[in-house]
Every structure is written in C-alpha cells, then in structure tokens.
C-alpha cells in the first residue's frame, strides 16, 4: 500500500489543497495555516460549488495562500488582488471571489484599492491576515504595527499610528466586518462562512502570530506564547463601535462581528440604475433570466 492510499497518510482537506505543493513555506508556529484551515472548512460548510470559487492573493507570506488552495487561484502582484478580484467577479458574476492576503498587501500598498472596492460594495470576500509586520521581506514596520513594536525598519520602535482595520472597512462601506485572532478558530470559520454566503463587500481581519520575525524581534516568545496573549487579552464584543478598536502594543484586542448589513452591490446598482435610465435598451449584466 502506498502511503497516500492509507487513511492516516491522507489529509482530510486534500480535495481543497494542492498536495503536490506540500510542504508549504510557512514557519512552524505561524498562524496563516490556521486561517487556511478555517477557510476550507467554511467553504465545505457553505455548500458553494468549489469550481465556482476563486482565490486571489497578492505578495507576502499570506500571499502564498493562492498557491496552496486547490481552486482557481491567482497569485497576483503586490497590493493588487482586490482590483484583480474586481475584474474576475465583474466578468463572471457567477463566481464567488475571495481575496486572501496580508495586511501589508491589502491595506499597505493596496490600501487605495481596498477602500474603493469597499466603497463600491464590490461583491467579494476579503480575508486579511494581520501579523503586524512585513514578514516575507524580513520583518519591517507596517501600516498595522502597534506603536512601540520593534521591527527592522523601526529599529528604535514604531512611532507611527497604525490603522484600525475594522473602522477603515466600515467607514468605506463594507457590509460585513469582523475581527478575530487565529485562536478563535471556530469563530473565524463561522465568519468566513457567513461572508461566503453573503452578497457584498465582506472583510475579515484575522490577527496571527508571526513567530519568526515580529515575535522574535520583540522577544514575545513562540507561537504558543502569542496564542496565550490572544487568549488573555482578546475580548469578544459583537457590534462594538469600530472607532474603538485600535490595538496597542501587546494590548487588548477587541474581536467580534461588528458590521453585518444588506446593501445593493456594485452590480445590483449598475443593473438597477441603467435599467431605470435606459429601459429595454439596456442589456443587464450577470443577471440570470
């Protein structure tokens, strides 16, 4: 019997993973894999046809997700998975398009794309793995780094104000906004499932340990120490005012689902508006007749 034929030699999620690309590049103790597991479980539970689900990633450690999930998966340029997903979704509205990338990618270099996709209520799911630093390049300061944290390009500690991502997403028009840490596995899964089953711009921030860079440079211990930090310092506050969700260095992390509203998507607005103005001349787009 070949090892892959044995039950114990097989991965329970192998239908959704590119097993021919394993082992992956992530460090042991990294939180990204946990979020991938949650995503796949959410996908399985969602009842969506996986052939119609696409994953777009940008660049960075989390950017590698597109390379490991066995779906139509696109590893794009740095910061651009959101507009890439916009094109994919609009060209074939039947697709469920998920952007899976890191904080540097989505709100650092890709911040402009992020706010505009949220403003348009583009019908995509954005999963943002936030590890407070640029990890792939060796641990540089990011737009999410808490004040005081030490990173290679902030060798005396960060003094810039970081983004509060749920506040940013809500202010720009997102219809679903949640934040979890990767300790909250079941809740991450549930949020992703809800987002997959929802129409509109959904944003899920997942705070994860970067053990190799952020944690080591700040002497925060290993993955387990960080999970303990999440355990002791995160507080579930569903529906919290997103203005109050700043994260201080090793401070309290407010998690939960903050926004879950219904609003016509970009395509709904386009079809409704143009039909109203142009009447029968208008050829609706992406509407099943």
Residues making contact with another protein (CB under 8 A): 18, 20-21, 50-52, 54, 56, 66-67, 70-77, 80, 82-92, 94-95, 112-113, 116, 266, 270, 274, 278, 281-285
CB of 277 to another protein, least distance (A): 9
Q: How far is CA 71 from CA 9, 100, 125, 131, 278, in A?
A: 22, 13, 15, 25, 38
> Which of 109, 122 has the CB closer to ligand SF4?
109
Largest CA distance in the chain: 66
Binding site partner of 87, from ligand SF4, another protein, none, Cβ cut-off 5-8 A by kind: another protein
Binding site partner of 30, from ligand SF4, another protein, none, Cβ cut-off 5-8 A by kind: ligand SF4
> Which of 32, 122 has the CB closer to ligand SF4?
32
Binding site partner of 232, from ligand SF4, another protein, none, Cβ cut-off 5-8 A by kind: none
Q: Which residues contact ligand SF4 (rule: CB under 6 A)?
A: 26-27, 30, 32, 61, 131, 135, 210-213
> Which of 95, 207 has the CB closer to ligand SF4?
207
105 and 63 in contact (C-beta within 8 Å)?
yes
Q: Where are the alpha helices (DSSP H) in 13-91?
A: 32-46, 65-68, 81-91
Binding site partner of 199, from ligand SF4, another protein, none, Cβ cut-off 5-8 A by kind: none
CB of 83 to another protein, least distance (A): 4
CB of 271 to another protein, least distance (A): 10
CB of 173 to ligand SF4, least distance (A): 29
**What 3-state DSSP class applies to 1?**
coil
Name the one residue in this structure whose structure tokens are 């990890």: 135
Measure the CA–CA gap between 30 and 215, rounded to whole angstroms: 10
> Which of 134, 163 has the CB closer to ligand SF4?
134
Binding site partner of 180, from another protein, ligand SF4, none, Cβ cut-off 5-8 A by kind: none
Smallest CA-to-CA distance from 202 within 261, 256, 244, 143 is with 261
Q: Is 6 exposed, middle or buried (0-12, 13-18, 19+ CB in 10 A)?
A: exposed
CB of 49 to another protein, least distance (A): 9
> Which of 27, 270 has the CB closer to another protein?
270
Side-chain half-sphere of 206: how many Cα atoms within 13 Å?
33
CB of 190 to another protein, least distance (A): 25
Binding site partner of 165, from ligand SF4, another protein, none, Cβ cut-off 5-8 A by kind: none
User: DSSP E strands: which ranges in the chain?
Assistant: 53-57, 72-75, 96-102, 125-130, 176-181, 202-207, 234-236, 253-260
CB of 238 to ligand SF4, least distance (A): 28
> Which of 8, 94 has the CB closer to another protein?
94
Measure the CA–CA gap between 33 and 86, rounded to whole angstroms: 25
> Which of 113, 187 has the CB closer to another protein?
113
* Beta bridge partner(s), residue 17: 69
* Beta bridge partner(s), residue 57: 75
Q: Residue 111: phi, psi to the nearest 5?
A: -55, -40
């Amino acid at each position: 019997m070949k090892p892959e034929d044995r039950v114990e030699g097989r991965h329970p999620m192998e239908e959704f993973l590119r097993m021919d690309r394993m082992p992956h590049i992530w460090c042991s103790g990294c939180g990204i894999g946990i979020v991938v597991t949650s995503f796949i479980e959410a996908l399985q539970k969602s009842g969506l046809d996986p052939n119609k689900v696409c994953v777009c990633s940008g660049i960075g450690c989390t950017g590698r997700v597109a390379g490991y999930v066995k779906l139509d998966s696109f590893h794009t340029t740095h910061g651009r998975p959101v507009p890439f997903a916009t094109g994919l979704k609009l060209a074939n509205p039947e697709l469920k398009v998920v952007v899976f990338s890191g904080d540097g990618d989505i709100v650092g270099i890709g911040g402009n794309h992020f706010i505009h996709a949220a403003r348009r209520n583009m019908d995509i799911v954005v999963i943002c793995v936030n590890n407070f630093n640029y990890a792939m390049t060796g641990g540089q300061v990011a737009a999410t780094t808490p004040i005081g944290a030490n990173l290679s390009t902030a060798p005396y500690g960060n003094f810039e104000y970081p983004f509060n991502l749920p506040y940013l997403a809500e202010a720009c028009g997102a219809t679903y906004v949640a934040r979890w840490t990767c300790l909250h596995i079941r809740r991450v899964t549930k949020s992703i499932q809800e987002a997959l089953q929802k129409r509109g711009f959904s944003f899920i921030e997942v705070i994860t340990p970067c053990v190799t860079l952020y944690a080591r440079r700040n002497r925060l211990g290993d993955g387990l120490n960080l999970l303990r930090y999440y355990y002791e310092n995160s507080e579930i506050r569903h529906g919290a005012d997103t203005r109050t969700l700043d994260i201080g260095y090793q401070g309290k992390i407010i998690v939960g689902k903050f926004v879950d509203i219904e609003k016509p998507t970009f395509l709904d607005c386009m079809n409704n508006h143009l039909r109203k103005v142009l009447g029968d001349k208008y050829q609706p787009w992406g509407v099943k007749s």
